[in-house]
Each structure stands twice: as C-alpha cells, then as structure tokens.
Amino acid sequence: MVKATFGLDENIAAAATYVLVWVTGIIFILVEQNNKTVRFHAMQSILTFLPLQIIIYILGWFFWMFYFLVWILDLLVIILWLVLMIKAYQGEKFKLPIVGDIAERQTA
C-alpha cells in the first residue's frame, strides 16, 4: 500500500482531504508534496467546497427569500461530500466536471 502524509495509506489520506471540506484540503495541499493522488483530492476539495460554501453563505444573507434553495443546496453538498469521500477511500480518482480537470492540471 502506498503511503502518504502523516504515514497514512494513500486511500485514507485521499478521503481525509474531504473530512473538513476545504479546510482539510488546504492542510493536505500544503503538507503533501509527493503523492499526486492525495494532492489531486485536496485540490478538488478546495475548488469544490470553498466556492459552494461562499455561495451558500451569500444566499444565507437573503435567508427569507432563499430558505428552500439554501436547504436543497446544503443537502446536495452533503451528498457530494459523502460521495467524494467514499470514492477517494475506495481508491477511485473520481473527477468532477470542470473542477476535476482544474485540480488535475494544478497537481500534475
């Protein structure tokens, strides 16, 4: 099994990049220098969840108008978060459209 940052197996480190959404992505992108798989997942985590959190925060300012939209978006983000974490743990390089390509170019 390939090892990564903190002595973790590659699949565990890749899944860990999603645990605290973009925060763990930043931690792993700064710490992991060699493992391209972990770096890819860390970058994809940052590029996916940071903008989504900003969008949800902005919509939250208009809570009274967008309550249902924010609730649906939150639910979709949680599902996406779980899928990405599970796929990374299973060793799959699950690339999201657009964001996955950017993450791949940034970590190549």
Domain residue limits, the chain: 5-100
CA distance 106 to 55: 23
CA distance 29 to 10: 14
Tens-digit pLDDT string for the chain (108 aa)? 788 888 999 999 999 999 999 999 999 999 999 999 999 999 999 999 999 999 988 888 877 777 888 889 999 999 999 999 999 999 999 999 999 999 999 998
CA distance 40 to 18: 11
Residue pair 37/14 in contact by the 8 Å Cβ criterion: yes
pTM over the 0.75 mark: yes
CA distance 81 to 64: 26
Question: Would you call 9 helix, strand, or coil by DSSP?
Answer: strand
For residue 58, the model assigns a pLDDT of 86
